């Protein structure tokens, strides 16, 4: 992990994001954006956010690549699991949107936006010192 004053806080946030992704991927009634192909945008955005967060959280290139590949694999597996249920359908285009989102999010994490969690962590330290 990168150097954080509160590493458990940021790791917990990422794990909550993963738990929410699992919940929304497997819940019987998916929430959909009221636009054409809105579910693809939801997939892309969700995986981009989790990949960016993971890239901002983990310091080494290997950990970032593992995070991105893990999210891509998770997206494929979740689509397969959805196809095994009686209340959801598997859609290979959703898996593609997941993968594109993971790639895009990790690319964002390799920019200045990748330091945003550390900046928030520093702000939190200063805020707590003033109290």
Two tokens at 45?
Answer: 């955005």
DSSP 67-113: HHHHHHHHHHHHHHHHHHSSS----HHHHHHHHHHHHHHHHHHTSGG
> Is 25 part of a structural domain of the chain?
no
> Is 54 part of a structural domain of the chain?
yes
Average pLDDT over residues 63-78: 98
Does 30 score more than 70 pLDDT? no
Burial code of 7-26, b = ≥16 C-beta within 10 A, e = fewer? eeebeeebeeebeebeeebe
- Residue 71 sits in which domain range? 38-130
Average pLDDT over residues 98-127: 98
Does 32 score more than 80 pLDDT? no
> Is 4 part of a structural domain of the chain?
no
| Tokens 């738990």, residue located | 19
> Is 102 part of a structural domain of the chain?
yes
Binning pLDDT at 50, 70 and 90, where does residue 33 land? Answer: low
Domains identified in the chain, total number: 1
Q: What is the pTM of this model?
A: 0.93
> Is 14 part of a structural domain of the chain?
no
């Amino acid at each position: 992990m990168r150097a954080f004053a509160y590493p458990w806080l940021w790791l917990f946030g990422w794990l909550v994001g993963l738990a929410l992704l699992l919940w929304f991927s497997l819940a019987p009634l998916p929430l959909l954006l009221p636009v054409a192909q809105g579910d693809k945008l939801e997939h892309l955005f969700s995986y981009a956010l989790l990949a960016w967060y993971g890239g901002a959280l983990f310091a080494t290139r290997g950990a970032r690549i593992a995070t991105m590949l893990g999210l891509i694999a998770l997206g494929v597996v979740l689509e397969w699991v959805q196809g095994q249920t009686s209340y959801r359908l598997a859609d290979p285009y959703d898996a593609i949107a997941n993968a594109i989102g993971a790639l895009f999010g990790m690319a964002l994490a390799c920019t200045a936006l990748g330091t945003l969690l550390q900046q928030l962590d520093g702000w939190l330290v200063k805020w707590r010192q003033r109290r």
